[in-house]
Amino acid sequence: RQPVKYGALIALGDPVVLSRSPELFFEIDAEGMIETHPMKGTAPRGATKAEDKRLKAFLLNDEKNQAENRMIVDLLRNDISLISEVGTLEVPELFRIESYPTVHQMVSRVRAKLLPDLTIRQIFAALFPCGSITGAPKIRAMEILHDLEGTPRDVYCGAIGWIAPSGTMRFSVAIRTISLFSSGEAVYNIGGGVVFDSTAEEEYQECLLKARYATGTPPIST
């Protein structure tokens, strides 16, 4: 129900991982340019063309969503600056709206020229986990998440991708991702970013909205 740019199927054992991620973690091209597409800001699709247009325009111009997106852009700029050449870091696009069958998403772009001779270990040490799923300040946010969350996230919010012999690579953020177990159980995690003016009800409704990539409709509340 959710055609995406960064889908993946990993069948290497139990569980099988099916990812319908719309978010690019990072991509490195043959010229050594790194690009990331931080995704922050979500709105539902409308039932009619007019409603859909209104919801898309609301997301594009909403100050709360813009502030969240800009915060993550700044965080990723900081992370990428650790492994990129001085003066090459740029933000060629802010607040683009990407539309999927179940949601509109706000996306920005960050690009830079990598330092020469970096290893994949050094790249991941600087960037992982993606700032869009930690928040800022990154280290302190991760410490709070560790204290609050009782179980590991497993594949959720990790990274899925490939590395070519030439050194080019692409990794997605493992959101909208399902683990399929041989027992017949399927597990998929949904979450959202909490900021100063967030409300519990709005964040919960956003989680139900994001879950539609798998269910088509919001899951039954319990």
Q: Strand ranges (DSSP E) for 24-132?
A: 24-28, 33-36, 39-44, 90-99, 103-113
3-state secondary structure of 152: coil
Catalytic residue among 23, 27, 68, 206: 23
Q: Strand ranges (DSSP E) for 77-196?
A: 90-99, 103-113, 159-163, 169-173, 177-180, 186-188
Rg (CA), the chain: 18
- Please indicate whether residue 90 is annotated as part of the active site: no
3-state secondary structure of 148: helix
Q: Which of 90, 127, 109, 114 is nearest to 33 (CA)?
A: 114
Contact 146, 139 (CB under 8 A): no
Backbone φ/ψ region at 189: left (φ over 0), alpha (ψ -120 to 50), beta = beta
Cis geometry, peptide bond prior to residue 137 (ω within 30 degrees of 0): yes
Catalytic residue among 27, 40, 68, 210: 40
- Please indicate whether residue 68 is annotated as part of the active site: no
Active site residues: 23, 40
